[in-house]
Structure 1
Amino acid sequence: MTIQHICIIGAGISGLVAAKTFIEEGYEVTVFEKQQRLGGVWEVSRTYVGLTTQNPKDTYAFSDYPMPASYPEWPTAEQMRNYLESYAQNFGLIEKIRFQAEVTQVKRRTGVKPGWVVSVNCRNHSNDEIQKEEHEYDFVLVCNGLFNIPKIPLVPGKEEFIASGGQVLHSTEFNDNCQIEGKRVIVVGFGRSATDITAYAVHLAKECTLVFRESLWKVPKFFLGLVNIKYILLTRFSEAWLPYRQLQGVEKVLHTFGKPIVWAFWKINEILLRLQFRLDASGMLPDRPMSQSVNCSSAIAPENFYKYLYAGKIKTQKTTIARFCNDGVELANGKRLQADVVIFGTGFRQDVPFLEEKYRRLLIDDRGYLHLYRNLIHPDIPEIGFVGYNSSFFTQLTSEVGAWWLAEYVKGNLALPSRSETIEVMETELHWRQTQWPQDRGNGGCVSPFNFHHLEQLIEDMGVKSHQKGWQRIAEVMMPVNPSTYQKIRQELRGKRLSSVNDSENGDSLETDVTQELLNQQMSIGKS
């Protein structure tokens, strides 16, 4: 089958880089985005007040498009939107995007030519009515993101609380100071959004309480106020201190004979954080060791968060909300808190509601776990790829390399295992995460903390080299991720493809020359 027309669902980070990749490879691309503007999690209607990146800017850029030098080390949500819009403009993506176009169904196309029928609800800007459309595509890239559908626990009494004048919001709905100014605010959760909003609300709210089930290890932007977190968390060196499924070389030594060294490494990090954040004094020492907490939920501590906790400006309750009341909430520990606003920073749930049901069941099991080979494809869901389902500490890069991998897959350039072997690898990886890495509460869509391992696996699949040699290799291991260096991988990939074409053409030419020589010899023999 010749694949030419590509449908991309979503115009966030993953959708944009997927569109750029496939356009550069010569495909006809259409992007459907249900919001009014691009950006995904950074789109203006979805970002809470005070939001910044979790990454320093040079580690959160695309490989061929650095962020402006004028940006601060941790860009704001508005700066991220500007960066992504600039990226889309620079690479000619805007004209490929249809905004306010929500995909409602992706159904297998019947007939001789395989592919997909994509149903879309599009807003008509002339009369503001919704128009239903159907389009056919050879291949679909699902880029709707793992942070797409807000998750709010079902707590009884919510309607009663709202009827009495209370507000219940998800963190993505907090986008105006007026929503909390002078009010009694309860924030639920301990992830990045919950603690961000809590620290921000201190100076605006009349009262601020954080309700959480479990305190987690947070990391500072600068360890001991000196060392940028990118030198601690975003290196191959730091990744080596966690036991990967397939241990090799130094890592194998570390996690066998070197276990006492590994234990000491993590214990030192814990001590440093306990001292820097005064965790013992503020009653926020996590229950689990730090080595069991490094995953996609890991987050930077908001500025002054622990300072406010220690000073009592942020009140805390380590429990859950049992029910809403007229004037607030009742907690599982029996206490009642008055509140005007309750904000749930409780994350997101994953679903692909538009996918044909029989394929959706293959993708997501009853427990909500995603089943994907390399976090990119399912062998029994033909002509569909998933970009951004390999969330990491530098998601823009894992999405970008994932898009390169999928482009090679569509072109038929990957030497993939058989269907049965692919499923075995896919299920073995998921089982390992569930049993040997149970502290990762993700659903299979997160490749952290083994970000570099994942990237190098994809690069190896594509048949190019991923490592430097000698002293350069040591620098590569110790230094933070540098997205721009991955352009070398892309160039090698294109060079390999060109070389293959040239070899084929030379082989055809050589075969023609040999055939002609044989014919000439036969003609000479006939004449004699």
Structure 2
Amino acid sequence: MASSSSIKSRHVAVIGAGAAGLVAARELRREGHSVVVFERQKQVGGTWIYTDHVESDQLSVDPTRIVVHSSVYGSLRTNLPRECMGFRDFPFAIRSESIDPRRFPSHPEVLAYLQDFAKEFGIEKLIRFETTVVRVSPAAESDGGEGIGKWRIESTEKEKKIHRDEIYDAVVVCNGHYIEPRLAEIPGISCWPGKEMHSHNYRLPSPFKDQVVVVIGSSASAVDISRDISGFAKEVHVASWSNPADTFIKQNGYTNIWMHSMIERVHEDGSAVFQNGKTVLGDVIMHCTGYKYHFPFLETNGEVTVDDNCVGPLYKHVFPPALAPSLSFVGIPYRVLPFPMFELQSKWISGILSGRETKTMKATFEGLGIPKRFTHCLGIDQFEYYDWLGSQIGCSGTEEWRKEMSLPIFLRKMKHPESYRDEWEDHHLVSQPYQEFSFLSGNALELNTFIASKLLVRVQLAHQPFESFKPESRPIQMVSISNCSKTCKLQLLHSAVM
């Protein structure tokens, strides 16, 4: 670790004002860097900004299309509890104006949390909204010593029609990876007469009334969307590579959802033949098949490439060794606890740029021994990764309560996809993030045993429909808590814990 006299302040550009960009900006500024955030939307939130608009090309493959930033659909809820999603010193607590106090809330609640975070830490004044980054390219090579390479950023501000060409000491890429869809390769698809679309362009189930829909995929979006449209569609057939070839099962609890192995071929008559030998006449094929990493603005002279959905070479999923530390990425790994991971990565980047933390970075192949496309899939390995990041910046990697809370959820999600959000057995862990936050902030936050079991939501509330969540008339309990930088107000709905 460097001495305080050798700490340097850099002029840093952050690309994106979603969750990753917001926490990156905060950590960079805390470390003493000068920060400018580029955001093409009118507000913070990134992919959590819901819009009814979809792309004219429903498969999102036309390079000339107007790109829609969000992949959020109307019914989307988090697949992690709010306690696990929150940043360390800014818990994802129920607010007085919360419209969805469930532990696994819907997307407007997440967006509101990110907006609160940006306001609390004064991030909004660092952001250039409605600004598109056109090109990021090297402006100067590293001098091989203490200096780092610089970057030229060309951007266009929509409203003011301003074009800027600027030089920065470093660039932190936080543009997310839920915009450029991946598609399944289906033999015969060019002659199939039905409609194809990607889940990126799914919003509501009503357009699928009385249709036969084939959903491809097995992850969160496939599970959610297949069940969402089943109330309108005539039939829903879910095809997945992960299912054995002979799979043909009616989904428990549903009269019109069938689980299949992958599609073998489609035909001109509209039929789709599965590997299990079953055939259906389909109206729609929906690809719930994930997304590609996509950095259309970034020019690195071949030092950073995307091959088979692997961004590389990257050291610890963050720094390309040939361009470190002036270029870095936040949020590349998936199947993780995203917001806490963004925070740890951002702290590390900030320290490396200032010289407070030092590290020799060599080209590594993160997923050695597994298919390249799974390089950034962490899963159970995420906690070892967080611990490593923590060791670099002098803090704990993953809190024990976060591990204890999240691991069973990953298992329950696979076994009980319909109910895992609303049935849980970890009530004893619910208060721990707030207790830990109180300890870290140096304040006496009163959280007793009754809060430990009932904080955030009553268990019976979780089984009520979304529309029934309305604040009761009891007063709101306000608790002011100080963190290391400033005071934030944690609002606990008294009505939710009484």
Q: Find the structure with the greater CA-based Rg.
A: 1
The answer to whether the 8 Å contact 1:21/1:404 transfers is yes
Q: How does 1:281-320 map to 2 (within 5 A)?
A: 306-308=251-253, 312-320=255-263
Which of 126, 132, 143 pairs up with 1:96?
Answer: 126
User: What do residues 278-315 of structure 1 show as CA deviations (whole Å, max 9, x unaligned)?
Assistant: xx9x966xxxxxxxxxxxxxxxxxxxx9423xx54202
Instruction: Give the 3 Å change call, closer, same or farther, for CA 34–479 of structure 1 in structure 2.
Output: closer
Q: 3-state SS of the aligned residue for 1:118?
A: strand
Residues 1:170 and 2:198 are matched in the alignment? yes
Residue 137 of structure 1 corresponds to 168
Identify the residue that residue 85 of structure 2 maps to in structure 1: 60
Choose the corresponding residue for 1:46, options 68, 71, 95: 71
* Matched-pair contact (CA < 8 Å) for 2:10–2:354: no
Task: Determine if contact 1:460/1:466 at 8 Å carries over to the other structure.
Answer: yes
Residue 446 to residue 316, structure 1, CA distance change in 2 (3 Å): closer
Is contact 2:31–2:351 with CA below 8 Å preserved after alignment? no
- The number of residues matched between the two structures is 382
Partner residue in 2 for 1:116: 151
Q: State the AA in 2 paired with 1:307.
A: N
Aligned to 1:451: 382
- Compared with structure 1, are the counterparts of its residues 154 and 132 closer, same or farther at alpha carbon in structure 2 (3 Å cutoff)? farther
Opposite residue 393 of structure 1, the aligned amino acid is V
Hey, what's the Cα distance between the residues in 2 that align with 1:465 and 1:62? 14
Q: Classify the secondary structure of the residue corresponding to 1:175.
A: coil
Q: Offset at 1:173?
A: 0.9
TM-fit CA distance, 1:215: 3.2
1:86-141 CA-partner distances (Å, limit 9, x unpaired): 2212222223223333323210014898411112244237xxxx764322211100
Counterpart CA distance in 1 for 2:262 and 2:382 is 32
Q: Is the 8 A contact 1:150 1:348 kept in 2?
A: yes
Cα deviation for residue 175 of structure 1 reads: 0.9
- Of the structure 1 ranges 316-325 and 131-140, higher mean CA displacement relative to structure 2 is found in 316-325
SS in 2 for 1:450: helix
Contact conserved, 1:169 with 1:344, CA < 8 A, in 2? yes
Are the equivalent residues in 2 in contact too, given 1:188–1:211 (CA < 8 A)? yes
CA drift at 1:333: 6.4
Residue number in structure 2 paired with 1:373? 315
Contact 2:367 2:374 in 1 (8 A): no
Shift of 1:450: 1.7
CA distance in 2, matches of 1:476, 1:327: 48
Number of the residue aligned with 1:348: 291
1:430 aligns with 2:394: no
Tell me if the contact between 2:76 and 2:107 (Cα under 8 Å) persists in the aligned partners.
Answer: yes
**Per-residue deviation, 1:323:** 3.9
> In the TM superposition, what is the alpha-carbon distance from 1:212 to its structure 2 partner?
1.7
- Is 2:217 the counterpart of 1:189? yes
Cross-structure match for 1:74: 104
Structure 1 490/359 Cα, relative in aligned 2: closer, same or farther at 3 Å? farther
Measured in 2, the distance between the counterparts of 1:214 and 1:453 equals 26
The alpha carbon displacement at 1:396 in A equals 0.6
Matched, 1:407 2:350: yes
Aligned residue for 2:177, secondary structure, equals: coil
Q: Greater share of helix residues, 1 or 2? A: 1
Residue 386 of structure 1: how far off its partner (Å):
0.9
Work out whether residues 188 and 265 of structure 2, in 8 Å CA contact, stay in contact via their aligned partners in 1: no
Does the Cα contact within 8 Å between 2:261 and 2:275 map onto a contact in 1?
Answer: no
* AA at the equivalent of 1:16: L
Deviates more, 1:112-121 or 1:384-393: 112-121
Q: Percent identity over the alignment?
A: 25
Post-superposition shift, 1:148? 3.5
Give, in whole Å, the separation in 2 of the partners of 1:351 and 1:26: 30
1:215 aligns with 2:240: no
Contact 1:5/1:139 (<8 A) preserved:
yes
Letter of the 2:78 counterpart = T
RMSD: 3.6
Alignment of 1:149 with 2:184, yes or no, is: no
Query: 2: distance between equivalents of 1:147 and 1:175?
Result: 15
1:405 shift after superposition: 0.7
Q: What letter is aligned with 2:238?
A: L
The 3 A distance-change label for structure 1 pair 35 and 360 is farther
1:76 & 1:19 partners in 2: Cα distance?
Answer: 25
Distance 2:202 2:335 in 1: 25
Deviations 1:153-181 (A, max 9, x none): 354666765xx6x4322112111333323
How do 1:222-233 residues align onto structure 2 when only pairs under 5 Å count? none
Tell whether the 8 Å contact from 1:414 to 1:461 is kept in structure 2 after alignment.
Answer: yes
Conserved? CA contact 2:84–2:402, under 8 Å: no
Question: What's the CA shift string for 1:33-73, capped at 9, x where partnerless?
Answer: 23444323322142123111111111111112222336201
- Structure 1 residues 352, 490: CA separation in 2 closer, same or farther (over 3 Å shift)? farther
Counterpart secondary structure, 2:379: coil
Residues 17-43 of structure 1: CA deviation (Å, up to 9, x unaligned):
111211233322222223444323322
Specify the alignment match of 1:29 in structure 2. Answer: 35
CA 337–131 in structure 1, closer or farther in 2 if over 3 Å, else same: farther
- SS at structure 2 position matched to 1:454: helix
Change over 3 Å in CA distance of 1:476–1:91 after alignment to 2: closer
**Contact kept in structure 2, 1:376 and 1:390, CA below 8 Å:** no
Cα drift, residue 76 of structure 1: 0.6
- Give the conservation status (yes or no) of the 8 Å contact 2:386–2:398: no
Show structure 1 runs of 5+ residues with no match: 217-279, 285-304, 492-528
TM-score between the two structures when normalised by the length of structure 1 = 0.63
Q: Secondary structure at the match of 2:36?
A: strand
Q: 1:16 aligns to what SS in structure 2?
A: helix
Q: How far off is 1:364 after superposition?
A: 3.6
Q: Report how far residue 142 of structure 1 moved.
A: 0.6
- Measured in 1, the distance between the counterparts of 2:403 and 2:204 equals 43
Letter in 1 for 2:261: K
Structure 1: how far apart are the matches of 2:303 and 2:437? 33
